């Protein structure tokens, strides 16, 4: 990832307290070549994504068909996740999206936008939005309604 992505993600991740920390786990993308096809690559990536999850994780998949949460709605989701006491894992698919198995494993689907975004930007946006939701729940001055 470009340095601006790492810096952007780290900026918001470090602002969060221990009880709402972010841990990034990168999955190696499928090797693309002259052989194979998009569905095969998506399945390969899906297997690696699913193997990184714990059975106890609450899984939120990022998908265009997911629910587009406002900041207050995301804050409410964050509060609910924290009350459950489970780890929350966010799945972000590769260029071909998430496999059907990943979508089936998801407890929730979240849409950041109807737009297609590059993965580096999604990483930074997610970290910022989670920090913003946390700041709203904790009456921190970062979020201004």
Annotated binding site for S-adenosyl-L-methionine: 62, 93, 112-117
47 Cβ contact list (under 8 Å, min separation 6): 99, 101
Binding-site annotation: residue ranges: 62, 93, 112-117
**Rounded to whole angstroms, how far apart are CA atoms 126 and 132?**
10
**Rounded to whole angstroms, how far apart are CA atoms 100 and 105?**
9
**Rounded to whole angstroms, how far apart are CA atoms 38 and 63?**
17
């Amino acid at each position: 990832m470009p340095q601006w992505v790492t810096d952007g993600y780290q900026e918001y991740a470090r602002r969060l307290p221990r009880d709402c920390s972010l841990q990034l786990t990168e999955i190696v993308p499928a090797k693309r070549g002259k052989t194979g096809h998009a569905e095969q690559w998506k399945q390969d990536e899906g297997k690696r994504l699913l193997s990184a999850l714990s059975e106890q994780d609450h899984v939120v998949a990022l998908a265009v068909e997911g629910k587009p949460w406002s900041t207050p709605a995301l804050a409410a989701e964050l509060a609910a996740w924290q009350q459950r006491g489970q780890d929350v894992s966010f799945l972000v698919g590769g260029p071909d999206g998430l496999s059907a198995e990943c979508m089936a494993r998801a407890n929730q689907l979240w849409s950041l936008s109807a737009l297609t975004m590059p993965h580096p930007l999604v990483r930074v946006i997610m970290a910022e939005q989670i920090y913003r939701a946390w700041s709203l729940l904790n009456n921190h001055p970062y979020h201004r309604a």
